[in-house]
Chains A and B, each alone.
Chain A
Amino acid sequence: MSIVILRIAAALYAGATAAYVLYFARPKHARLATSGAVLLALGFAVHGVAIGVGCAEYGGMEFFTLRGGVVLGIFLAAGAFLAVQRITNLPSLGAFILPFILVALLPALFGTPAHPELAPETVRRPTVTLHIMAATLGDALFMLAFLAAVAYLLQEREVKGKKFGALFPRLPSLEVLDRLVQRLVRAGFVVYSVALVAGTIMATSVWKSAWSWDPRQVLSMLVWLLYGLMVQLRHNGWHGRRFALLNLPGIVLVIGSMLALQVFPGTTRHTGDYGASAPSEVRQ
């Protein structure tokens, strides 16, 4: 059932993508941007329902898989973009972010969701919920920061390279994009820190050790350190192109840490070993 609702959400996202892309091509038609925002908001709401229904169906255990993480991450990214839109009103960025949201969601629309068999008491721990939600929101914000950084780099190429092509009049100013990247990085870092603290608390209580060289732990720590470094460098005056470029290794690490769930099913304990019950096979 949840997958059907998710497909409806994806259709709405597709509509929003089309509207934002058309708006980008024809910026005079401001209505396209409004339609895009409305469709995105509708898609976001339906997506929320799909996740809720999914929780009822699988007891929340789907979030321990890559697919579940992506579905949740896209949901949070869509929400974050809606929030960014409300604060900054930069509809032209929709043409960058929406296609990504749509493409990333596509693989999740087919087949039956896989989920590990976990003990309900593990899943329902508030620290786990906080850990998963915060980590996924952090990833979503880093992803948005990366896309905004791409927009920055493209616009910088136009402005500094004196190209003044189609992107120049359409994309926001460098200053606005730079500040947006910075804010998203900072917000992502704060949220990600919360996730790491919650994760550490969990690990200490369940695995009896805060640090166990789990591949997911290692990659997440690298993500946290890199984005922490970016926040610090920004404080020291780094900005513009150099700051935007740091988002490239950043996003590689973020994606790597997410894939770690899938790539190292045997080595990472993040896919199911939560102490309370015996680790189990991923069930289709």
Chain B
Amino acid sequence: MSAREVFLVGLSHKTAPIEVRERVALSGDALKSALGELKAMNGVREALVVSTCNRVEVYVQALDDGPAKHFFTSRAPKAGDHLYVKGGVEAVRHLFRVSSSLDSMVLGEQQILGQVKEAYGLASAAEAAGSYFSRLCNRAFATAKRVRTETDIGRGITSMSQVAVELVEKIFGDLKGRGILLAGAGKMGTLSAKALASLGADRILVTNRSAERGQGLAAQVNGHFRDWDELPRLLTEADVVIVSTGAPTYVVTRDMLAKAMKARRHRSICIIDLAVPRNVDPACAGLSDVFAYDVDDMQKVVDSTHEARKGEALRAEAIIEAEVMAFAREREARAALPVLVQLRRRAEAIARAEAERTLATVGAKLDDRGRRSVEAMAQAIVNKLLHGPTVRLKESASGGDGALAGAVAELFGIEANVEPIPRAPRAAPREAAEANGAVPASRAAASSDPT
């Protein structure tokens, strides 16, 4: 019997170098159409793609991990060597860890949660994410919030922008009398420019292909907008350059920078490339008096500076473990619901039929109010009778025991469609479904989510 469950296939800064990540990273419309493709693949019911500069992860609710793997191998054949694959509870745990920033380059950073939320928003707008991912993601967001409020993981260097500040500080000390250039409207770049402004930069210049967006950005960071065509000249004016455009190619090339360095009379320049795919030619770092960094270099800075939050990470892991288990139990409780729904539906049908029969014989002697009383009485009997069993069924299912639901189905002769659930150590959902006894494989696969 095959059933759908959640699978994750992905690669991140921990498993793949930036050269591979930039080949599979997607955003905007490209991501939307990729979600559409995923959804259309055989056996995939729901899909979610988290694509940030540090990771690309594909979550699918499907029969196997094939479609998710195909997402990567079709884009970059080399990606196959860097993938990690998780299924069921493992995948759920991974998403919770990612959202809570435990898997981040900068442990405890705050942007990843927003990025996962954005990914979910995009997936549900593209109708790739349905009720299952809705519950999964909401639980992940709640977990992240718990981790943030109950641990100190967010203290200290907790964002890429702070890493940028750290780097720039080690080169220039402060930025008095110097200029920052923000090229491109990437979110990370904007945050970094804002953070760097705290080092006392004299001026912030902003350039962007789209002038309108650039001007808005300039107003946001308190800077001056310059035309995108001026970029080579701007490189001679600014001492710190943050590049984060969505361009798939290098916008700062070695030649361009070499010329700028000559014009600068070799005053030092720091270039931080926050874009994936990279926007600054890696060869630029070889020029003298040029300090150029990409996202992976930032990781090395983080490694050298953070130790303190590791203890907090352990506490966060405990919270995540509890949430993963709670999520799995909740899923199991939901698995008992089809039995309940069927049971209630059948009882209500009987009550309605009996009430109608009664009214057919004695209804003529009753006024409207009397009729309604008879109907209400029948409904009340159903409610009272089913209250106890409902509570006990929910309890036993949330405790990981699917046997009672099976017994009820058996006893009342109900055919319940039981949604497959993530494999938790304490429960074997397929066994539970089989114990329910009534679900042929094809129907289980085709059944809609119970809520």
Contact = CB atoms under 8 A, between A and B. Distances in A.
A172 B300 CA distance: 18
Contact of B304 (A160, A168, A176, A242): A168
B172 interface: yes
A17 interface: no
A241 interface: yes
A149 to B, nearest CB: 16
Contacts of B265: 237
A211 interface: no
Nearest to B172: A175
Q: How many interface residues does chain B have, given as a range?
A: 20 to 34
B171 A240 contact: no
B289 interface: yes
Contacts of B167: 159
A159 B291 contact: yes
Contacts of B37: none
A159 B171 contact: yes
Contacts of A175: 171-173, 268
Given A162-B293, A169-B304, A174 B288 contact: no
Contacts of A173: 169-173
A160 B171 CA distance: 9
B305 A240 contact: no
Nearest to A241: B288
Task: Kindly name the residue among B170, B268, B285 whose own CB sees the greatest number of chain A CB atoms within 10 A.
Answer: B170
Nearest to A162: B297
Contacts, number: 49
Interface in A137-175: 155, 159-160, 162-166, 168-169, 172-175
Task: Kindly name the residue among A159, A162, A176, A239 whose own CB sees the greatest number of chain B CB atoms within 10 A.
Answer: A162
B178 to A, nearest CB: 10
Interface in A235-255: 237, 239-242
27 contacts: A159-B170, A159-B171, A160-B285, A160-B291, A162-B285, A162-B293, A162-B297, A163-B300, A164-B301, A164-B303, A164-B304, A165-B304, A168-B170, A169-B304, A173-B170, A173-B172, A173-B173, A174-B171, A174-B172, A175-B171, A175-B172, A175-B268, A237-B266, A240-B268, A241-B288, A241-B289, A242-B288
Closest 10 CB pairs of A and B: A164-B304, A173-B173, A175-B173, A164-B300, A237-B265, A175-B172, A176-B173, A162-B297, A173-B170, A164-B301
Given A159-B171, A173-B171, A237-B265, 15 more contacts: A159-B291, A162-B297, A162-B300, A163-B300, A168-B170, A168-B304, A174-B171, A174-B172, A174-B268, A175-B268, A239-B267, A239-B268, A240-B268, A240-B289, A241-B288
Interface of A: 155, 159-160, 162-166, 168-169, 172-176, 237, 239-242
